[in-house]
Structures are given as C-alpha cells and as structure tokens.
Amino acid sequence: MLLQEVDERRKVIMGALSPRITAKAKDNEWKAVTEAVNSISRVSRDVLEIRKKFRTFRSEVKKKAAKEKSEREVTGGGIPDTKDWKPTEEALLALIETEAIEGHSGPFESEDVIADEPLPSTSAGSVARPIPLTRTHDEHAPLPNFGGRSR
C-alpha cells in the first residue's frame, strides 16, 4: 500500500524542489500517503514514521541493486549470484530512477532544458536564454569563455 500511494504521487514526492514542487506540496502528499496507509493498517503511524519507513526501504533496495550491479561487472567474476527480489523490492526498484542506482551516464546531471518553466527575465525586460552545455557542432572546438579565467 505504501508503494502504491507513493507511486501515485511520485512526481511531487520524489521530484526536486522547484517553483511547482514546493516543500509544502511534498508535505501534503506525504500526509495523504500517511492517511491512506493508516486507513488499512492495524498500527497507526505519523508522517515522519511513514517517510522514514519509505526512506529506509528505498536505501536498502538501492544498496541491493548497486551490489548486484557491481557483482555483474566484476572481471572474470562470471555470472553473479542473483538476488531473490521480493515483489515489494521489485516494485520499489521500478520507482527508483536508474541514475539513483547506477549513476549518471553523461558529464552533466541533465542536458535538457525544462520547457514548461518560464525563463527568467533580465532587468531590461528581455528573456534570458539558457546557454547550452552540450556541443552541437565541432567537438574539438573550445567552449566559449564568458568572463572566466582562460585555460
């Protein structure tokens, strides 16, 4: 039940804080999760206990998945011992982003610009444009120096 409720609210609960996802919004979603869990549980828990239970379970699953990944990549290690994944662990693993277990594949956490968030405006009223962090033309050309130290 806990995982189902978190999954229904995952964009807010597991999302990064932003103008659209506030700490208050996260707190409200955790309150809703707590109410749903308490409605079917014999033991009543408060929001902090539910959050801690989820955080601890997520940590254990991430450790198990990371260990399985490292065993899989050992040179000459052969086929790693497969862990017996419980259905609840598999469900939580599906909720966790791949990067949370394996790390980021590229040099940056994200190379995407979020299109639905408004761009900040400058004092002159024009819209500030993001500077792309990826190379779109010559891979060997140096990146522009925007007033920083020269290399």
List the domain range (segments joined by +) for residue 7.
Answer: 2-102
CA-to-CA distance for 29 and 143, rounded, in angstroms? 42
Length of the chain: 151
Dmax of the chain from CA atoms?
A: 64
Q: Quick check: is 127 in a domain?
A: no
Q: Quick check: is 117 in a domain?
A: no
For residue range 23-39, list pLDDT tens digits in order: 999 999 999 999 999 99
Q: Quick check: is 67 in a domain?
A: yes
**Confidence at residue 135, expressed as pLDDT on a 0 to 100 scale:** 45
Q: Quick check: is 33 in a domain?
A: yes
How far does the chain reach from its first CA to its final CA, in angstroms?
Answer: 55
Q: Which residues of the chain have pLDDT under 70?
A: 76-83, 98-151
Q: Quick check: is 74 in a domain?
A: yes
As given in the structure block, the two tokens for residue 10 are 């995952």
Positive or negative torsion for Cα 42, 36, 90, 60: negative
